[in-house]
């Protein structure tokens, strides 16, 4: 059987989410660490973004497409429901995660603190501006998780797997740790899911 290959940097929240899906389903895969815009990534993704995937003759880009393929192509528990409403609810949260949670937590909050010009220091105005938007995201997630155990209902789905690494990464920074305790349902959900082997087994190596 062809080897499933996930290509991308281990510390990417999107790379981690598809790896977590493989772990949850019991799908063997190989991680090929590659930075965005590297030749092996650009050979699959026209914009050079990670993750990308190879499985035999199949090559895919964009996280949601990769997750859908893995969930449907391999045996094991399903994390994207077959029914129309269940699938739509999962896609709803994936889209929200991409448009809002990733934007405000990862792009506007984490990136300016993790990557900056050493002579200029972090862009504190950008980071500060992201905080109220992160609060809105957390409030939205908290409301959903106050109604059900998981984002798309009473069972773990790829919606949870997709968003969890973003929420956990937020808490690696002091301002994120100040936000987190305000949202009890989110913290209970994140605490529960971060104990799963799929999350532990996909922890990226310490960044230098």
Same domain, 89 and 190: yes
Res 205: pLDDT: 86
Spatial separation of the C-alpha atoms in residues 98 and 83, rounded to whole Å = 23
Return d(Cα 14, Cα 64) in angstroms, integer.
9
In this prediction, residue 114 carries a pLDDT of: 83
How many domains, the chain? 2
Q: Do 97 and 150 sit in the same domain of this protein?
A: yes
The 8-class DSSP code of residue 152 comes to T
Q: Is 126 in the same domain as 177?
A: yes
Quick one: the chain helix, strand, coil %, rounded to 5?
55, 10, 35
186 with 156, same domain? yes
Asked if 68 and 119 sit in the same domain, the reply is no
One domain for residues 63 and 148: no
Task: Please indicate, yes or no, whether residues 94 and 176 belong to a single structural domain of this protein.
Answer: yes
Looking at the fold, whether 38 and 132 belong to one and the same domain comes out as no
pLDDT at residue 3, as a whole number: 93
pTM of the model: 0.94
Distance CA(67)–CA(200), nearest Å, equals 19
Cα–Cα distance measured from residue 175 to residue 74, given in angstroms and rounded to the nearest whole number: 40
Sorted by sequence, the CB contacts under 8 Å of residue 156 that are 6+ apart come out as 24, 79, 150, 193
- Mean pLDDT, 10 residues at a time, the chain of 208 residues: 90 97 98 97 97 98 98 97 97 98 96 79 89 98 98 98 98 94 98 98 84
Residues 58 and 97 in one domain: no
Predicted pLDDT of residue 208: 61
Q: Is residue 39 part of a domain?
A: yes
């Amino acid at each position: 059987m062809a080897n499933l290959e996930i290509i991308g940097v281990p510390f990417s929240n999107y790379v981690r989410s598809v790896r977590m899906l493989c772990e949850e389903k019991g799908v063997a895969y190989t991680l090929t660490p590659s930075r965005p815009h590297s030749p092996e990534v650009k050979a699959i993704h026209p914009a050079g973004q990670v993750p990308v995937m190879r499985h035999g003759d199949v090559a895919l880009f964009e996280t949601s497409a990769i997750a859908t393929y893995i969930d449907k192509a391999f045996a094991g528990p399903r994390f994207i429901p077959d029914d129309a409403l269940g699938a739509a609810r999962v896609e709803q949260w994936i889209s929200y995660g991409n448009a809002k949670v990733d934007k405000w937590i990862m792009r506007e909050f984490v990136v300016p603190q993790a990557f900056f010009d050493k002579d200029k220091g972090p862009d504190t105005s950008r980071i500060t501006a992201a905080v109220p938007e992160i609060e809105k995201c957390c409030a939205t997630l908290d409301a959903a998780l106050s109604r059900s155990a998981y984002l798309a209902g009473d069972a773990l789905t790829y919606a949870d797997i997709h968003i969890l690494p973003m929420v956990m990464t937020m808490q690696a920074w002091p301002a994120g740790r100040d936000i987190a305790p305000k949202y009890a349902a989110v913290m209970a959900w994140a605490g529960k899911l971060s104990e799963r082997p799929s999350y532990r087994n996909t922890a990226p190596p310490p960044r230098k």
